[in-house]
Amino acid sequence: MVTSPDDAASSGMRYDLRRERSRRNQLTVAIVLLVAVIVLALVLIWVLRRDVIPSSSAHQSAPTLLVEDCVAAYFAGAGCHT
């Protein structure tokens, strides 16, 4: 129970300081999340644009060429023997 005006003012100040600290923490979290969203959006754009460049068969790896050969042989009726 509050007995003096000084205690009431002190209690009110503590409450105001706690609210200010809480608001500051919320703002910090909001800014961190905003930065994270921007970074993830930039990474997504980078990944999507990176795969737009058509790759030639010279740059394909051996397993990719093997699969393509097997698929072509299967549809030609010859089967795939590795």
Identify the pLDDT of residue 32: 98
Q: What DSSP designation does 79 have?
A: -
Identify the pLDDT of residue 20: 92
What's the pLDDT tens digit per position in 16-73?
889 999 999 999 999 999 999 999 999 999 999 886 655 555 555 556 666 777 777 7
Residues 6+ apart with CB under 8 A from 82: 66, 70
What's the pLDDT tens digit per position in 67-80?
777 777 777 776 65
pTM > 0.75: no
Which residue has 């590795």 as its token pair? Answer: 82
Sequence spans of domains, the chain: 1-51, 55-82
The amino acid at residue 57 is: S
